[in-house]
């Protein structure tokens, strides 16, 4: 089953604000870039960053396949064995992660590994994970 990422206002403003800043600074740069080389570099950089940010924004989801939990965020992929998950808890941790909202779930797995995600339907996600591994401790307080 696939769960899409919840998209928060703060994350959206940061990501799309970056794109608008890049485009705006190119368009409204006083005098413009000097020479064809600088113009080409600026255009390519803007296109590449816009493509990357769009890929992350529209391509972040979490999938449960058998006993595998798969996290996809643009070009980045994680595969986690559901049987290795120890706990899931709510957090507002702002660290960089495959989560498009500040309201996140912290998943601890293995001995010391964590990943932050933000599924739209948190309770349904936790219920499905818990069905596969009933030993997972879930804390929503």
Q: Could you report the per-residue pLDDT of 20-62, keeping only the tens digit for each?
A: 888 887 777 665 555 556 777 778 888 899 999 999 999 999 9
Q: For residue 62, count CB atoms less than 10 angstroms from its CB and return exposed for 0-12, middle for 13-18, buried for 19 or more.
A: buried
Lowest mean pLDDT among 15-19, 28-32, 52-56, 114-118: 28-32
- In this prediction, residues 122-127 reach a mean pLDDT of 94
The pLDDT, as a whole number, for residue 17 is: 92
Q: pTM for the complete prediction?
A: 0.83
CA distances from 88 to 42, 63, 116, 121, 139 (A): 42, 16, 10, 14, 6
CA distances from 2 to 62, 98, 113 (A): 6, 15, 22
- The answer to whether the CB of 22 falls within 8 A of the CB of 50 is yes
Q: Retrieve residue 132's tokens.
A: 């596969």
Beta pairing partners, 72: 61, 77
Q: Where are the alpha helices (DSSP H) in the chain?
A: 9-27, 35-58, 122-132
> Which domains, ranges and CATH numbers included, belong to the chain?
1-141 (2.30.29.30)
- The answer to whether the CB of 115 falls within 8 A of the CB of 109 is yes
DSSP result, 74-95: TTEEEEEEGGGEEEEEEE---S
The pLDDT, as a whole number, for residue 32 is: 57
The pLDDT, as a whole number, for residue 30 is: 60
More confident site: 43 or 84: 84
pLDDT in tens, 89-106: 999 988 889 999 999 999
The pLDDT, as a whole number, for residue 129 is: 95
pLDDT band for position 134 (50/70/90)?
Answer: very high
């Amino acid at each position: 089953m696939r769960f899409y990422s919840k998209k928060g206002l703060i994350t959206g403003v940061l990501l799309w604000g970056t794109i608008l800043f890049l485009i705006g600074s190119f368009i409204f740069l006083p005098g413009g870039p000097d020479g064809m080389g600088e113009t080409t570099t600026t255009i390519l950089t803007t296109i590449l960053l816009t493509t990357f940010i769009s890929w992350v924004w529209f391509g972040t989801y979490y999938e449960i396949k058998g006993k595998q939990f798969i996290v996809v965020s643009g070009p980045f992929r994680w595969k986690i064995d559901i049987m290795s998950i120890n706990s899931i808890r709510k957090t507002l941790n702002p660290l960089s992660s495959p989560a498009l909202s500040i309201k996140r779930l912290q998943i601890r797995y293995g001995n010391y590994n964590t990943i932050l995600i933000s599924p739209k339907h948190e309770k349904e996600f936790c219920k499905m994970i818990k069905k596969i591994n009933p030993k997972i401790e879930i804390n929503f307080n």
